[in-house]
Amino acid sequence: MQIFFNNPWFARLPAAQASALLAAARTVRLAQGELLYLQGERTTGAQDGLWGVASGAVRLSVMHADGNEVIVTMAEAGNWFGETALLADLPRSATATAHEDTELLAVSAERFASLMQDVVFANAMARLEAERLHAAFSLVADMAMHSTRARVARRLLMMAHGDLTQAASARNTITASQDQIAMMLGVGRTTLNKELQALASCGAITLRYGQIELRDIEALRAAAA
C-alpha cells in the first residue's frame, strides 16, 4: 500500500499507527458510478465509516433541491475520508460516488473508535480535520473575495497539489473534465470555458481533451491573486 505513504498526512503517521490503521481495514471495490453513501445518511449502525482510496477516485458532492450537483472535492488514491461524521456523530455531509473503478480500504466505526483510543492517532486525526477545515474556509473566502477567474486559477492550483492530498509538489497535468471543474466551482460550463480560455491566452495553461496542462505556475498564481 505504498500509495498511502505518498500522502503527506499518512506519511507523517508514526509506523505503529500507520500499520494499525492499515491492519484495521478490509478491501472494498466499487464500479464507476457506484454509490458508497448518501448525503444525510446516519453513521449509526453503518458497517464502515472511514475509507482510504487504494486506487481510483471518489467524488464527494452535495445535491441542491433543484437537482444540481456541486462537487465538494475529489478523494484521489492515497487519501482517507469519512472521519468527520464518525468524530461528531453527524449525518454524512456529502454523497460519495466512485468516479472511476475504485478500490478502497474500509475501516469500521468500531475499529475506528478503537484506533482513536491511541492519543498519537487521535492527535493525527485532529490535525487532518484542522487542515481540511482550513481548506474549506479558504474556498468559502474565495467565493466572497475573488473574481471568477481568480477562483478558477486558485482551484486549478489546489487540484495540481491534489484536492485533498495537498502534496508539496504540484503535478504538471490535471486530469478533469470542464464539467467536473464547473461543478466544483458552482459555475456554468460556458462561464468556466471563458475563464479557462483567458488563462490559456496568457500562457498559464493549455487545454486538452479531459486534461489541463499547467504551463506557467507563476502566471497561474498571478491570476489567482
Please state, in angstroms and rounded to a whole number, the distance separating the CA atoms of residues 58 and 34: 10
Mean pLDDT by 10 residues, the chain (225 residues): 92 97 96 94 73 96 84 94 88 93 95 96 96 88 89 95 85 93 93 97 95 96 94
The residues spanned by each domain of the chain are 2-121, 140-224
Tell me, what's the pLDDT at 164?
Answer: 82
CATH topology of domain 2-121: Jelly Rolls (2.60.120)
50 in Cβ contact with 86 (< 8 Å): yes
DSSP 63-101: E-TTS-EEEEEEEETT-EE-HHHHHHT---SSEEEESSS
* C-alpha closest to that of 170 among 212, 111, 117, 139: 212
- Residues in Cβ contact with 149 at an 8 Å cutoff, skipping those fewer than 6 apart: 195, 198, 199, 223
Distance of CA 105 to the CA centre of its chain: 16
Displacement of CA 77 from its chain's centroid (Å):
10
What is the pLDDT at residue 138?
Answer: 86
pLDDT tens digits for range 107-161: 999 999 999 999 999 999 999 999 999 888 888 888 888 999 999 999 999 999 9
What's residue 46's pLDDT?
Answer: 60
Q: For helices 178-185 and 189-201, give the axis angle rounded to 10 degrees.
A: 110
Contact 37, 92 (CB under 8 A): yes
Q: Give me the pLDDT at residue 168, please.
A: 79
Question: Nearest CA to 36 among 87, 85, 90, 104?
Answer: 104
Find all residues with CB under 8 Å of 66, minimum gap 6, and list them: none
Beta strands in the chain (DSSP E): 25-30, 35-37, 50-55, 57-63, 69-76, 80-81, 95-98, 102-107, 173-175, 205-208, 211-214
In this structure, are residues 44 and 155 in contact, taking their beta carbons and an 8 Å threshold?
Answer: no
| Predicted TM-score of the model (pTM) | 0.87
The pLDDT assigned to 44 comes to: 62
The CATH architecture one would assign to domain 140-224 is Orthogonal Bundle (1.10)
